């Protein structure tokens, strides 16, 4: 597929290659192919797996916290007059509880929950050792922070294992600044996720449109337990109210399974478009 695309004019299609081709003109064919392979393969987990994990977590927490469900459903159904209005823009951005709910789900179950390792490179120009919190970091050392651990640190988040979107709506600026200093589901700084804005838009649209058309709930029996922690388990797997993630660069998961019911007559819009 890549060889076929490289055989065409670099601007023959409006795709990824058309954007990066000009920057690769000075590279050898081998280097060019390797770079495209690397970037293309990275897009699969970065652009798909993380988003699906985040949306799965959103549905898990919404289906298990009835007060949150009711507040969010009321916000969506009172803000918009029709499905056509649910699109990116000021109206969607005005849904503050929706954003708080998304942030809380990303905090408690970050799609990339493990450690993003960085290696301390050798710098011959550095006259002083590199020190972090009193620890000397020698060249060649890999350093990283677990995003999950950071998001569940009581220094930054009160009751860190409680699902509480309201924590993001407090009026105390100092508390908000402290939480945001540790909130890093998309990483931070220059290496932060380039797709952050798109991810927020996707999550907002999926949840808003789903609540516009449907109500949903946890099914009875074993299916309803999928994705939840189990009392008695160890290593943090004992919390039924927490969506369980398994680190593999991104995060894998099981469930959730939900039962959906049409909300009012709005579902007829879907049939009309089919």
Cite the annotated binding site for heme by residue number. 193
Phi, psi angles (nearest 5°) of residue 158: -70, 140
DSSP helix/strand/coil, 54: helix
**Strand, coil or helix: 182:** helix
Paired strand residues for 132: 135
Task: Enumerate residues 6+ apart whose C-beta is below 8 A from 108.
Answer: 57, 61, 151, 152, 160, 161, 163, 242, 243
- Give the start-end residues of each E strand in the chain: 118-119, 131-132, 135-136, 142-143, 214-217, 246-248, 250-252, 259-262
* Listed residue (87, 142, 98, 148) closest to 120, CA to CA: 142
The annotated binding site is made up of: 193
146 DSSP 8-state letter: B
Long-range contact pairs involving 16-22 (C-beta distance under 8 Å, separation at least 24):
16/40, 16/43
SS3 label, residue 159: coil
The string over 95-114, giving b where at least 16 C-beta atoms fall within 10 Å of a residue's C-beta and e elsewhere, is bebbbbbbbbbbbbbbbbbb
Sign for the CA dihedral angle at 47, 53, 57, 60 comes to positive
Q: What is the DSSP letter of 142?
A: E
Query: Strand, coil or helix: what is 154?
Result: coil
Which residue matches tokens 């390792």? 117
């Amino acid at each position: 597929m890549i060889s076929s695309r490289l055989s065409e004019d670099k601007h023959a299609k409006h795709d990824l290659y058309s954007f990066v081709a000009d920057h690769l003109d000075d590279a050898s064919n081998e280097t060019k192919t390797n770079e495209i392979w690397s970037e293309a393969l990275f897009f699969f987990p970065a652009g798909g797996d993380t988003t699906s994990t985040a949306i799965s977590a959103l549905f898990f927490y919404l289906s298990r916290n009835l007060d949150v469900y009711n507040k969010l459903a009321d916000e969506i159904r009172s803000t918009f007059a029709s499905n056509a209005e649910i699109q990116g823009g000021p109206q969607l951005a005005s849904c503050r509880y929706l954003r708080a709910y998304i942030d809380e789900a990303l905090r408690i179950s970050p799609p990339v929950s493990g450690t993003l390792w960085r290696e301390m490179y050798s710098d011959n120009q550095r006259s002083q050792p590199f020190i972090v919190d009193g620890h000397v970091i020698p060249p060649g050392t890999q350093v990283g922070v677990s995003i999950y651990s950071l998001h569940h640190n009581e220094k930054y988040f009160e009751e860190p294992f409680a699902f509480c979107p309201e924590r993001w709506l407090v009026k105390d600026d100092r508390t908000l600044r402290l939480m945001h200093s540790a909130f890093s589901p998309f990483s931070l700084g220059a290496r932060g996720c380039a797709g952050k804005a798109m991810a927020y838009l996707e999550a907002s649209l999926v949840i808003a449109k789903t609540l516009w058309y449907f109500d949903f709930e946890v099914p009875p029996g074993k299916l309803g337990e999928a994705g939840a922690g189990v009392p008695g388990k160890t290593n943090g797997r004992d919390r039924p109210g927490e969506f369980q993630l398994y680190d593999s660069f991104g995060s894998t998961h099981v469930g959730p399974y939900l039962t959906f019911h049409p909300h009012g007559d709005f579902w007829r819009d879907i049939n009309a478009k089919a």
